[in-house]
Amino acid sequence: MPPRGLDPRGIILVDKPAGPTSFDIVAAVRRRTGARTGHAGTLDPFATGLLLLLSGAATSLQSRFVGLDKRYVTEIDLSARTSTGDPEGEVLAEHEPPAREALEERLPGLRGAVELPVPAASAVKIGGERAYRLHRRGVAVEMPLRRSHVRELRLEGYADGVARLDLLVSSGTYVRAIADVLGGHCRTLRRTEIGPFRVEEADPERLIPPDEALERLA
């Protein structure tokens, strides 16, 4: 008999709804399967889209999946900045959104290698404590810069001060930070791809065999 928790093994793709945390989704899958369950990157509670979970013995492969590029579609409200870069934060400043031409002039500077401040409401540790916990207590800290690569950034629409962007970014990139640099906040955020895996494939009942998943990384 195999050690407890190692089966079923494989990769599970889940389309996360808005509301629950990524860890809520992981816990639900773990309860259903009885297997060890891990993830290859989380989403904020307000965000939706693709989560890549590892089940059973496949949790040992986590390092192969956490560094994959990710694609997002986001709606950025350019009329206000918030303390978290999303709808859940306090409004810090309200202003007239830029004209489309002015917005388009700013986008090239956000393509390629960029350094962006990590949002205060993030899981990065500051002095040994999660930044979001400090933020909730009202502790002001200077957030570090993180070097990211924005492979693609397309403006798909702009109306009433809300820009719809499609982005392909390196792992660890905070789209909320991009929204903040543009002077706004993410009204919606949806992850549509993780490496070669697409949200259209999501099925919480389906296990992709580890070998098959690894072949797709080649």
Same domain, yes or no, for 187 and 205? Answer: no
Domain extent for 35: 10-67+196-213
Question: Any catalytic annotation for residue 44?
Answer: yes
35 lies in the same domain as 62: yes
Question: Which residues share a beta bridge with 48?
Answer: 190
Mean pLDDT in consecutive groups of 10 residues from the start of the chain, 218 residues: 77 96 94 96 93 97 96 98 88 95 97 85 58 58 77 98 98 93 96 98 97 95
Q: Provide the CATH number for the domain around residue 154.
A: 3.30.2350.10
Pairwise CA distance, residues 40 & 30, whole Å: 15
Catalytic residue among 15, 44, 77, 180: 44
Number of domains in the chain: 2
Per-residue confidence (pLDDT) for residue 3, from 0 to 100: 55
- Looking at residue 157, what is its pLDDT? 98
64 closest CA partner among 172, 170, 208, 195: 195
Does residue 123 sit within a domain? no
In a domain, 62, yes or no: yes
According to the model, what pLDDT value does residue 1 have?
A: 43
